[in-house]
Structure 1
Amino acid sequence: MSRQTAVRLTDETYERLKALAEKTGRTATFYIREAIEQHLEDLEDLYLAEQTLAQVREGKERTYSLDEVERDLGLAD
C-alpha cells in the first residue's frame, strides 16, 4: 500500500529535480521517494545512536573495546 502526500519545494529545488528527472528518464516522484527513504534511514540511525549514547552516559549501557570483542568472538591472537 502506498499513500500520497504533498511537498512544497522552492523553485530552485523543483527545477533541479525536474532537470534530473529529464536527464535520467526517471520521474521526479522516484527521486523524491528515494531522497526521503535515504534521509529517514539516516535520521533513524542518528536517533538510535543518540539514545544509545544517552544510555551509556547514564550507566545503563556499556561499551566494549575492540580487544574485548575480538576475545569474546575468538578472534584474538
Structure 2
Amino acid sequence: MRLLAETTGRSESFFLKQLIEKGIHAMEDAWLPREVVAQVRSGNLPAQQHGTIFDLFDNSIRDR
C-alpha cells in the first residue's frame, strides 16, 4: 500500500478506506440476496427481524 501511496500521491489511509469499502460491497454481493442489497444501497434498509439468525460463515442457526 505504501508503494501505491507514494506513486499516486495519495495517502495510505485513502487506499485502506477504498479496500474496506470495496471489500464490504463484495461481501454484501456474495452473501446477501440481491433485493436486500438493493434496499440497503437505496437507503431503504428493512426493519431488523428478531428471532433466529444464520451465521454466514458456519451456517449454524442461533437464537438472538
**TM-score where L is the length of structure 2:** 0.49
Q: Higher helix proportion, which one?
A: 1
**TM-score where L is the length of structure 1:** 0.41
Structure of higher CA gyration radius:
1
Q: Which has the higher contact order (CA 8 A, sep 6+)?
A: 2
Q: Higher strand proportion, which one?
A: 2
